[in-house]
Amino acid sequence: MDKEKRKPTKPTEKMNLSSDSPGISFHLLANEKWQPITIPAFSILLSLIAAAIVILLIGKNPLNAFLNLLQGSGILPKPSYAGYKGILTDFLSLLNAMTPLLFASLAVAVAFKAGLFNIGVSGMMLTAGFTATVAVGYSDLNSFLAKPVVLIIGIGAGAVMGAFVGWLKYRFNINEVVSTIMLNNIAQYVFGFFINAYIVDPVSRQSRYILDSSRLTLVNVEYGGLKMDIPLGFILAIAAAVFLKFFMDKTILGYEIKTVGANRNAAKYAGINVKKNIILAMVISGALAGLAGVTYYLGYFSSIQPKVLSSVGYDAIAVSLLGNSNPVGIVFSSLLISIISKGSTYMSSIAGIDQDIASVITGLILLFSACGEYIKFKIRRLNDRQLERKESEA
Amino acid sequence: MPEYIVEMKLITKKFPGIVANDDITVQIKKGEIFALLGENGAGKSTLMSMLFGMYEPDEGEIWVRGSKVKIDSPNFATKLNIGMVHQHFKLVQNYTIAENIILGVEPMKKLAGIFPYVDIRDAGRRIEKLSKKFGLEVDPDNKIEDVNVSIQQRVEILKMLYREAEILIFDEPTAVLTPQEIEFLLDIIKGLREGGKTIILITHKLEEIKKVADRCAVLCRGKLIDILDVKETSTRRMANLMVGREVNFETVKKPAHRKDVVLKVSHLTVKNQEHFEIVKEVSFSIRGGEIFAIAGVSGNGQVEIADAIAGLTKVSGGTIELNDTDITNYNIRRRTLCGISYIPEDRQNFGLVLDFTLSDNLALKSYFKKNFSPKGILNRGEIDRYGNKLIEKYDIRSGQGVRTLVRSMSGGNQQKVIIAREIELASPFMIFVQPTRGLDIGAIENIHNMILQERDKGKAILLISLELDEIMSISDTIGVIYNGQLQKTAETKSLTPKEVGEFMMGVRHG
């Protein structure tokens, strides 16, 4: 080996691309060790700046708007509260909305680790939600039995659908993007038909409300003069994130799934059963999507709107990207997105900024989070090119 | 007319951490064959990339035909009539030869004076004229994907000539060719000189320089060592200058002590995706303590043999026995555990997971074993300790130890990672496919020694290589493959490189 190549390059030095210095921020971003944190942070910063410009353009104060978002979602106290309401009420309501999003994002992340794009989280959510609603939602099971059964049915329904996608992938080499989109449509209309035909509420035009015994959110719990909604699924979602982190980093199965995702050829060469791992990853992804479904339709809501797919499954793709497909990162990114969507009602009523602006901000964050991948890609390309140059000095 | 057609004066080019070219001055005469000799990483390609406009020098001047120029792009180099054949061909696989040649300089005509179109027929005529003139026969209507490497190279040369290049740069042109094809190419290069072209030949093969070059610049670690008159310099002296020390031309090799048969392949047949029999009825056996090499031109089925034995490709006929066990229907993991180590041809797409750390890659075939993952939970500490042990033992160089992403390591060190991992499996049978491709002389020597050491430990080794020199110098037995069939199996000592070359081309039959 020749002498030049022996020198270990410090990660910060790697990006000394040319004589014109690229600046400190660039060095920070280029440091691979910190990239999982710096790049999402950079993306969020960019999106907040862009959002601030949008708010300025409609003639409002962006700082106030951001403050209102935090107040509305129960992170900061509001100046005044209505009866039975308090910061705790708002905060629990935030967690209630965040629970399905967190499950759904974890579902996307697991598939992503195996190199699969699960677009079908929404369809899986609906399948799980519908199955659980029909099976348990109107039954007279007592609360202690009904809730676990709802969870199990959710996991089962999602996992079966995930396994089906994985099976299609390895047996017939059907791209999972195509099959999941198709399954989304099938779920949307098939279950829409059944809801309209059998369990529709003629007034609300939705499925009849489920009984509280099977609902995963305890509603209107009175404590200390406040009326709160307590999302039981939230604890499970956090536990799922922690477990997933452990599973991916520390177990043989996680290592194999990651290897299949990072380089399918090398996985095969190393003797890893690629088919088994593709299905396994999709089963786990489906199970998590199922949990997202039951915490959404039988927790956050208590009925299903027919022929409508929830946007949670799509938002989850971006939330997962923003969190770098890392379960811990996803806890934070789903919190952030939930804060914005939850706080928007308050922001619009106080600051007079249309609620749609909150959607714009969410959209911007998600857009920039996709750019985060792009930034990483760009930086890696530059790194690679430099390596290539060094190699080609023959 | 100035004496020199190209002058590169006091050229310095730095990359982060490396001075690729340090104060190099070369002057090239019109109509000569000028060779650039040096190991990988000596700075030959960098120097020529600057002449071809791919990089700009940090310091120094380039003069072409007596006037100072600033070559900032390959397009400008083309305008100066400079052309380059890259080591990796830059051709569009599903275009015809003619389409590839005219790409970017398409002759345009106007139909009815209005609608522009590409006059491919006129281009075809010009290409035919050029190929006749320089002995570069091609069929302009063939697609690139249907012709072999040597024809592809001719297309690259024709591409330069079509653009009226006067100064032709060849970057390691013989690396992909068989001995016979090399002879042919060297004749073509001589013919180009006769036709008044100036040729710059980048190579690390001394015989080629000796055969065709007029003068030769020796580069070592970015510095110009000397410019030699080829006729008056011995090959040995050039080699010593190139490496900067005395070189052993012969790999020191003890005689083989053949033991029992370890691997026995009988009537192996493999079909590719188009159901074409790419390996036909191949039979051979390898004993412990023996290096069995399969020589052949790329694409004659040798890689498929390796994949079939390792289990990556399905076998459609025949059997594979390892230590008297029929493993033909075993899966990959089971074969590995039975005792097969495999150093694959494509190290980045098969041998490594580039986005994993060094320690994860070293454990790629053993992570599931009891000591690394008791009860299905990975013991990271143990995996890292193992990684550190191998880094030390095999002298693997990396930026951040076991935490280094393999993507960021050099090619030679990436190969060391694979070899270290596979040797540590302690398999009785090892497959090496192109183990030294793209590596420099020092690394090659090192890897050859490792292979020989494994042989002397009594392992059976299957070596598949496109480098005939490598096969001749380290193997004990050679099987020559052509069109998926073994043409000849014999003791290495009983064959000359010329004979092997003839078997490889299918012009001679055992």
Question: Among partner residues B202, B221, B398, which is closest to A8 by beta-carbon distance?
Answer: B398
Quote the number of domains for chain A: 1
- Which carries the bigger pLDDT value, residue A3 or residue B217? B217
DSSP string, B211-222: HH-SEEEEEETT
CA–CA gap between residue A234 and residue A147 (Å, rounded) = 14
Whether B381 and chain A come into contact, CB under 8 Å, resolves to: no
- Residues of B numbered 423-452 whose beta carbons fall under 8 angstroms of chain A's beta carbons: which are they? 440, 442-443, 446
Sort strands B18-29 and A217-223 into parallel, antiparallel or unpaired. Answer: unpaired
Q: Is B344 on the interface with A (CB under 8 A)?
A: yes
A269–B20: do the CB atoms touch at under 8 Å? no
**Contact yes or no for B169/B48 (Cβ under 8 A):** yes
For residue A9, is pLDDT > 60? Answer: no
CA distance B249 to A178: 58
Between the alpha carbon of residue B205 and those of residues B171, B192, B216, B232, the distances in Å are: 12, 20, 12, 17
Nearest neighbour of A6 by CB, restricted to B43, B365, B397:
B397
* Nearest alpha-carbon partner for B172 in B198, B202, B149: B202
Query: B15 touching A, CB under 8 A?
Result: yes
Residue A298 belongs to a domain with what CATH number? 1.10.3470
CA A318 – CA A370 distance, rounded (Å): 7
Rounded to whole angstroms, the Cα distance separating A107 from B343 reads: 36
Characterize A228-260 residue by residue with b for buried, 16 or more Cβ atoms within 10 angstroms of its Cβ, and e for exposed: bbbbbbbebbeebbeebbebbebbbbbbbbbbb
- Which pLDDT belongs to residue B251? 61
Q: Which residues does chain B have within 8 Å of residue A270's beta carbon, measured at their own beta carbons? A: 332, 364-365
- Of chain B, the percentage scoring pLDDT greater than 90 comes to 50
Which of B260, B298, B262 is closest to B278 using CA atoms?
A: B298
Q: Pick the residue of B37, B87, B355, B410 with the most A CBs within 10 A to test the interface with A by mutation.
A: B410
B438 Cβ contact list (under 8 Å, min separation 6): B40, B411
Give the phi and the psi of residue B317 in degrees, each rounded to 5: -170, 155
Asked if A173 has any chain B CB less than 8 Å from its own CB, the reply is: no
Alpha-carbon B308 to chain mean position: 23
Interface check for A373 against chain B (CB to CB < 8 A): the answer is no
E strand or H helix that includes residue A329: helix A327-351
Residue among A120, A121, A102 at smallest CA distance from A323: A102
Residue A373 forms part of a structural domain: no
Q: Is A173 helix (H, G, I), strand (E, B) or coil?
A: coil
Inside any domain, residue A284: yes
pLDDT in tens, B271-310: 987 788 889 999 999 999 999 999 987 778 899 999 999 9
| Rounded Cα–Cα distance for residues A287 and B301 (Å) | 45
Categorize the per-residue pLDDT at B335 as very low, low, confident or very high, splitting at 50, 70 and 90: very high
- How many Cβ atoms sit within 10 Å of the Cβ of residue B114? 6
Of residues B441, B506, B490, the one with CA closest to residue B469: B441
Closest residue of chain B to A17, computed from CA coordinates: B16
**How do residues B175-227 score in pLDDT, each as one tens digit?**
777 777 888 899 999 999 998 999 999 987 778 888 999 999 998 878 898 89
Task: Give the pLDDT confidence of B412-461 residue by residue, as tens digits.
Answer: 788 999 999 999 999 999 999 999 876 766 778 888 999 999 999 999 99
Fold assignment, B4-243? Rossmann fold (3.40.50)
Q: What would the pLDDT profile of A181-196 be if each residue is shown by its tens digit? A: 999 999 999 999 999 9
In a domain, A391, yes or no: no
CB contact under 8 A, B44 and A14: no
* Cβ atoms within 10 Å of B227's Cβ, excluding its own: 13
Does the pLDDT of residue A14 top 50, yes or no?
no
How far, rounded to the nearest angstrom, does the alpha carbon of residue B442 sit from its chain's CA centroid? 16
Query: B286: helix, coil or strand?
Result: strand
Contact B278, B301 (CB under 8 A): yes
Rounded to whole angstroms, how far apart are CA atoms A265 and B349?
6
Domain that holds residue A244: 81-330
CA distance A244 to B243: 53
Instruction: Give A251's strand partners.
Output: B377
> What whole-number distance in Å separates Cα of residue B385 and Cα of residue A113?
26
**Whether pLDDT at B26 is above 80:** yes
Residue A291 vs residues A114, A244, A314: alpha-carbon distances, Å: 20, 14, 16
| Look-up of token digits 């709160």 | A228
A362: CB partners within 8 A, 6+ apart: A315, A337, A340, A341
Pure H helices in B301-410: 302-310, 332-339, 358-362, 380-394
| Inter-residue contact B157 to B199 (CB < 8 Å) | no
Compute the mean pLDDT over every residue in chain B, rounded to the nearest whole number: 88
Question: Between chains, do B378 and A250 touch, taking CB under 8 Å as contact?
Answer: yes
Strands B261-271, B429-433: pairing is unpaired
Q: Tell me the C-alpha distance between A311 and A292, whole Å.
A: 12
What are the CA-CA distances from residue B315 to residues B268, B297, B331, B479, B486 (Å)? 7, 22, 12, 20, 17
Q: Is the pLDDT of residue A198 over 60?
A: yes
Please list the residues that pair with B477 across neighbouring strands: B292, B491
Tokens (6 digits) for A212: 């509280």
Q: 3-state class of A77 per DSSP?
A: coil
The ipTM of this complex is 0.79
Q: Which residue among A10, A252, A271 sits closest to B378, beta carbon to beta carbon? A: A252
- The verdict on A5 touching B (C-beta cutoff 8 Å) is yes
How far is A47 from A54, CA to CA, in rounded Å?
10
More confident residue, A17 or A278: A278
**DSSP at B105:** S
Cα–Cα distance for residue pair A329/B135, rounded to 1 Å: 63
Q: Read off φ and ψ for residue B225, nearest 5 degrees.
A: -90, -50
How much is the pLDDT for A157? 97
Out of B16, B45, B397, name the one closest to residue A13 (CB). B16
| Rounded-to-integer distance, Cα B443 and Cα B437, Å | 10
**The token pair that represents B139 in the structure block:** 């069929």
Domain-embedded: residue A75 = no
pLDDT, one tens digit per residue, over B336-368 is: 999 999 999 888 889 999 999 999 999 999 999
pLDDT at B256 exceeding the cut of 90: no
Least confidently predicted of B63-72, B147-156, B185-194: B147-156
- At B235 the pLDDT is 80
Is residue A214 within 8 A of residue A134, CB to CB? The reply is no
**Confidence category of residue B119, pLDDT binned at 50, 70, 90:** confident
- Mean pLDDT for the stretch of residues A241-267: 95
Residue B143: CB atoms within 10 Å: 14
Closest CA of chain A from B7, distance in Å: 20
The residues facing B286 across adjacent strands are B263
Q: What is residue B224's three-state secondary structure? A: strand
**Average of per-residue pLDDT across A17-45:** 66
Q: What CATH superfamily classification does B261-351+427-504 receive?
A: P-loop containing nucleotide triphosphate hydrolases (3.40.50.300)
- Which part of chain B has CATH 3.40.50.300? 4-243, 261-351+427-504
Return the SS3 of B504. Answer: helix
Instruction: List, for residues B224-247, the tens digit of each pLDDT value.
Output: 988 999 988 888 788 778 766 655
The model's confidence at residue A3, banded by pLDDT at 50, 70 and 90, is very low
Interface of B with A in 183-242 (CB under 8 A): 202, 204, 221-222
Q: Check CB contact of B175 with chain A, cutoff 8 Å.
A: no
Q: Is residue A377 part of a domain?
A: no
Instruction: Measure B300 CA to nearest chain A CA, in Å.
Output: 22
B276 neighbors B300 (Cβ within 8 angstroms): no
Q: For the range A149-152, what are the long-range contacts, defined as Cβ-Cβ under 8 Å and sequence gap of 24 or more? A: A149/A214, A150/A214, A150/A216, A150/A294, A150/A298, A151/A216, A151/A236, A151/A291, A151/A294
* B46, B84 contact by CB (below 8 A): no
Interface touch A269/B377, C-beta < 8 Å: no
Confidence of residue A8 (pLDDT cuts 50, 70, 90): very low
Q: What is the pTM of this model?
A: 0.75
In a domain, A134, yes or no: yes
Contact B280, B485 (CB under 8 A): yes
